Amino acid sequence: MERSTIVRVHEGLHARPATRFVKLAKSFESNIELVKGEKSVSAKSSVKLMLLGVKENEEVTVRAEGADAIEAIEALIGYLENPRSGLEEDGQEARQKPKAPAVPAPGATSPADGRLKGVGASEGVALGLAYPYFPEEIKPENRKLSPDETEAELARFRDAVATVQKRMDASLAADGLAESDRGIIAALKDIAADETLTEETISLIRGGMDAVTAVFAAASKVATEFGEMDDPYLNARADDVHAVGRQLCLALLGREEGSLEDIPDGAILIAEDIGAWDLARAPLKRIAGVICGHGGATSHVAIIARAHGIPAVLGLGVEIGRLRAVKHIALDGGTGEVFPEPDSETTAHFEARIRTADEERAALKVFRDVVPKRPDGTVIEVAANLGSLEEIEAAQDAGAMGVGLFRTELLFMRHMHLPSEDMQTEIYSTLAKAFAPHPVIVRTLDVGGDKPVAGVDFPDEENPFLGWRGIRMCLDRPDIFKPQLRALLRAAVHGPLKVMLPMVSELSEVVRTQALIDECEAELRTEGKDYRRFELGVMIETPAAVLIAPMLAKEVAFFSIGTNDLTQYVMAADRLNPTVASLNDVTNPAVMAAIQMTAKAGVEAGIMVGMCGEAAGRPDLIPEFIRMGLTELSMSPASIQRAKKCIAEFR
């Protein structure tokens, strides 16, 4: 018995919708297959189903044989015809960013006294227990089984599958597990139990291969199939298969994975590399410091560390390997120095500095509610840079006068699907309400090939930083850009919300965005939805934008200087590459001249000029920026009180 239909499930049967479909299929006794074109697969295997690559609007056939075939077909066809199938609980699910390949950074140096030097990425000093986080490499055993060993090896493998399932169930049952983590673990658990992986492994063991090697080979085969599909989201499932393969191997070897969840209070995290999203989900309150082989001062890991006031040294390069076994460690996030196993003198020195820093922080609290002004009475807005609603409290506690940069990337990166217009409206509205009457500046989506997002097919690029990113990508994808603009128009009803565009390099990008905003407004009007036109500004972060700043100033309501990118583009020095860290210096006269030119163009046109790059929080530069005419500085919450003090003392 069979029935055909057109799939209406949003974005087709990948990941969550596929696993839900399988769950539904498994609730029937019948043998069920899903047929697409010439291919048919068991409807009870999510991996096989995902590999079938069923997309929205494609025709498929559900074939069932058994006592409950009619009911099964009815239910499964109903599922396939519902656009929201599998999405209902997806709102909070996360998608892990694939890790960048390990590239040794030769920038780090190690003076003779054992101290190491990397890039000072988040200032402050820390001293504590080291928490090396180097997931162990597992190698295939490459053992040939004798025929009488096969059954025992199969039993060992089945035990390992059960152990992994149990470990995952235990994680799912843990108190306080974020919904985002729950989604990831549930998806991995599905793969671990899936017949595709287990059948392949079992057949290899029967062929005489030891279980660890068999899991390796089976996982590689399935991962390669995912990697070859023409859907970037399904490509990313290859990482999930490898992750499950790794868990199975660990269980076979009787080992367990370390986790950031276990990091002790006050410990210093040491890692080769850590994804921004992984760090964002870690128990940040317990982490006293971060030391990484990868990254630079303006990488997003650095930004997260600064947002939470965690001292960090990044870009240690291959030297990070020397810290795998250290027990105690000290670091200076300002100078980039790291002191493994500090002696008593160094320890005393760090303890004294930590005490002084605590005292300074306490003394700065009096500036929390200060409204800093220039000597002529002009208020200088000291605002916060935020990446998620979870950071609102820290910004308010610090005394932020609004938000000068809300990065919307995390919102897009943490979901398995593009966030809907309604979900975005809710998030931007919450933000506007939280800070009203202060302004909130939301930056439209600023992603590129280095920060992939589910649902956006990025081309392979030699230089993603010079490629299809920010406003360039958004203008080519009105299906992504317009829902964001519509959500911003709707949220602007709730407070003084402003919007700025990233990576602008041509006037036409602003003009085309304005036309899209007009279009969104007309649609909302016709639909009878509440909205308010927001002020539109641009980030000045490309040399082209600096050079046409007088022209841009006639079209927009404000400028916000993005010194992180502006520095890398003016100096032609990758902001993530520790080897060129010394060139990546905002105080270089070339970069300061670019800032000066931007300020002059904005001031002459009578529009607000602000800054949201990391330089905005530097007390050594703030007086100069104010002299140039900047009236808004937006920074990590941890820098706000010190910046207010600095402006209040400016003469």
| Contacts to ligand PEP from residues 269-308, by CB under 6 A | 298
249 flagged as catalytic: no
Which of 300, 308, 415, 494 is an active site residue?
Answer: 300
Strand order in the sheet with 287-292: 116-117, 337-340, 328-332, 125-133, 267-271, 287-292, 312-314, 119-122
Output 495 or 562, the one with its CB closest to Mg ion.
562
Token duo for residue 360: 């300074």
The CB-of-302 to ligand PEP minimum distance in angstroms stands at: 10
The CB-of-570 to ligand PEP minimum distance in angstroms stands at: 12
The CB-of-280 to ligand PEP minimum distance in angstroms stands at: 14
One-letter-per-residue 3-state SS of 79-115: HHCCCCCCCCCHHHCCCCCCCCCCCCCCCCECCCCCC
Are 319 and 105 contacting, i.e. CB atoms less than 8 angstroms apart? no
The CB-of-344 to ligand PEP minimum distance in angstroms stands at: 40
Q: Which of the choices ligand PEP, Mg ion, none does residue 281 contact, using the CB cut-off of 5 to 8 A by kind?
A: none
The CB-of-443 to Mg ion minimum distance in angstroms stands at: 9
Alpha-carbon torsion 144, 147, 148, 149, what sign? Answer: positive
Output 455 or 502, the one with its CB closest to Mg ion.
502
Are 524 and 491 contacting, i.e. CB atoms less than 8 angstroms apart? no
As a whole number of angstroms, the distance between CA 615 and CA 635 comes to 8
Are 538 and 565 contacting, i.e. CB atoms less than 8 angstroms apart? no
As a whole number of angstroms, the distance between CA 110 and CA 87 comes to 51
Q: Which of the choices Mg ion, ligand PEP, none does residue 513 contact, using the CB cut-off of 5 to 8 A by kind?
A: none
Q: Which of the choices ligand PEP, Mg ion, none does residue 563 contact, using the CB cut-off of 5 to 8 A by kind?
A: ligand PEP
As a whole number of angstroms, the distance between CA 33 and CA 66 comes to 12
Output 295 or 562, the one with its CB closest to Mg ion.
562
Smallest CA-to-CA distance from 277 within 188, 183, 180, 189 is with 180
51 is a contact residue toward ligand PEP (CB under 6 A): no
User: Which helix (H) or strand (E) element contains residue 201?
Assistant: helix 195-206
Beta bridge partners of 634: 383
The CB-of-547 to Mg ion minimum distance in angstroms stands at: 17
505 is a contact residue toward ligand PEP (CB under 6 A): no
The CB-of-434 to ligand PEP minimum distance in angstroms stands at: 21
Q: Which of 316, 565, 571, 578 binds ligand PEP (CB under 6 A)?
A: 565
97 is a contact residue toward ligand PEP (CB under 6 A): no
564 is a contact residue toward ligand PEP (CB under 6 A): yes
| Contacts to ligand PEP from residues 596-615, by CB under 6 A | 612-613
Are 292 and 301 contacting, i.e. CB atoms less than 8 angstroms apart? yes
Binding site for Mg ion (CB under 5 A): 541, 562, 565
Neighbours of 200 (CB within 10 A): 18
As a whole number of angstroms, the distance between CA 615 and CA 131 comes to 30
Residues 353-392, one symbol each (x = binds ligand PEP by CB under 6 A, - = not), give ----------------------------------------
Q: Which phi and psi angles does 241 have, rounded to 5°? A: -65, -45
What is the total count of residues that contact ligand PEP (CB under 6 A)? Answer: 11
The CB-of-470 to ligand PEP minimum distance in angstroms stands at: 9
Output 171 or 542, the one with its CB closest to Mg ion.
542
332 is a contact residue toward ligand PEP (CB under 6 A): no
Q: Which of 10, 63, 407, 498 binds ligand PEP (CB under 6 A)?
A: 407
The CB-of-503 to ligand PEP minimum distance in angstroms stands at: 8
| Contacts to ligand PEP from residues 518-547, by CB under 6 A | 541
Residue 119 CA: distances (Å) to CA of 299, 383, 452, 489: 11, 26, 25, 40
Output 251 or 302, the one with its CB closest to Mg ion.
302
Smallest CA-to-CA distance from 310 within 280, 333, 294, 330 is with 333
Output 30 or 598, the one with its CB closest to ligand PEP.
598
Q: Which of the choices ligand PEP, Mg ion, none does residue 405 contact, using the CB cut-off of 5 to 8 A by kind?
A: ligand PEP
If you search the block for the tokens 């040794």, which residue do you land on?
A: 104
Output 513 or 563, the one with its CB closest to ligand PEP.
563
Residue 523 CA: distances (Å) to CA of 491, 516, 518, 530, 600: 15, 11, 9, 11, 38
User: Which helix (H) or strand (E) element contains residue 179?
Assistant: helix 179-193
Q: Which of the choices Mg ion, ligand PEP, none does residue 407 contact, using the CB cut-off of 5 to 8 A by kind?
A: ligand PEP
Q: Locate the DSSP E strands across 541-625.
A: 558-561, 608-611
494 flagged as catalytic: no
Residues 7-36, one symbol each (x = binds ligand PEP by CB under 6 A, - = not), give ------------------------------
Alpha-carbon torsion 35, 38, 39, 42, what sign? Answer: positive
562 is a contact residue toward ligand PEP (CB under 6 A): yes
Q: Which of the choices ligand PEP, Mg ion, none does residue 391 contact, using the CB cut-off of 5 to 8 A by kind?
A: none
563 is a contact residue toward ligand PEP (CB under 6 A): yes
Output 154 or 547, the one with its CB closest to ligand PEP.
547
Binding footprint of ligand PEP on the chain (CB under 6 A): 298, 405, 407, 446, 541, 562-565, 612-613
Q: Which residues are catalytic?
A: 300, 612
